[in-house]
């Protein structure tokens, strides 16, 4: 007959179950790290949106200046100096809703104010008297917090023997 030795052996008490947990210091440090990471992510997103908005405003200012410059190519010298034909100051909007390109245009978003300046050329040559320097300047104030003022300008030379002689038919 076989005797089972383990059946009568004294039973060992099981060890107390060890509970895996974090100390208060570890929890606080983990929360601090997560907080710093979240603040950094939100700061990056905010700066990215600000830069995108500023780039869009700059692009719109460039479009407005280019639009005015392209229109100037077709003016005769008399029209270029006539304040009724070429209005020296203008207002445009980020998004124009009516009367686009007219002096009474309205819209919403950033308001761009501009000035067209015609001056003599800054160099001296035999044809200097037949040329003018045209500068289109645009200024605006960014929307949102920090309302930053911006100005941009674009210059070109205008010749009395220019493109208007080939395209424009005077009455």
Domain coordinates of the chain in residue numbers? 24-167
The reported pLDDT for the residue numbered 1 is 57
How far is it, in rounded angstroms, from Cα 76 to Cα 161?
A: 9
How far is it, in rounded angstroms, from Cα 125 to Cα 62?
A: 31
| Inter-CA distances, 68 with 83, 108, 122, 124, Å | 15, 20, 22, 26
Contact (Cβ atoms closer than 8 angstroms) between residue 109 and residue 123: no
CA dihedral 171, 68, 123, 77 (to 10 degrees): 10
106 Cβ neighbours under 8 A, 6+ residues apart: 93, 96, 97, 98, 99
CA dihedral 73, 76, 80, 81 (to 10 degrees): 160
pLDDT by position in tens, the chain (length 171): 565 655 555 666 666 666 677 789 999 999 999 999 999 999 999 999 989 988 999 999 999 999 999 888 888 888 888 878 888 898 888 887 666 656 666 777 888 999 999 998 888 888 888 888 999 999 999 876 678 899 999 999 888 876 665 655 555
């Amino acid at each position: 007959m076989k005797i089972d030795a383990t059946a009568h052996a004294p039973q060992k008490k099981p060890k107390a179950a060890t509970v895996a947990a974090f100390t208060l210091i570890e929890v606080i440090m983990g929360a601090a790290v997560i907080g710093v990471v979240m603040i950094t992510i939100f700061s990056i997103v905010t700066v990215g949106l600000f830069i995108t908005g500023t780039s869009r405003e700059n692009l719109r200012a460039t479009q407005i200046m280019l639009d005015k410059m392209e229109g100037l190519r077709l003016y005769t010298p008399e029209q270029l100096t006539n304040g009724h034909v070429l209005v020296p100051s203008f207002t445009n909007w980020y998004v124009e809703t009516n009367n686009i390109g007219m002096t009474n245009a309205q819209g919403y978003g950033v308001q761009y104010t501009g000035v067209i300046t015609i001056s003599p050329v800054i160099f001296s040559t035999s044809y200097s008297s037949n040329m003018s320097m045209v500068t289109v300047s645009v200024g605006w104030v960014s929307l949102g917090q920090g309302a930053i003022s911006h100005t941009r300008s674009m210059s070109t030379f205008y010749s009395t023997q220019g493109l208007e002689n080939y395209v424009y038919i005077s009455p």
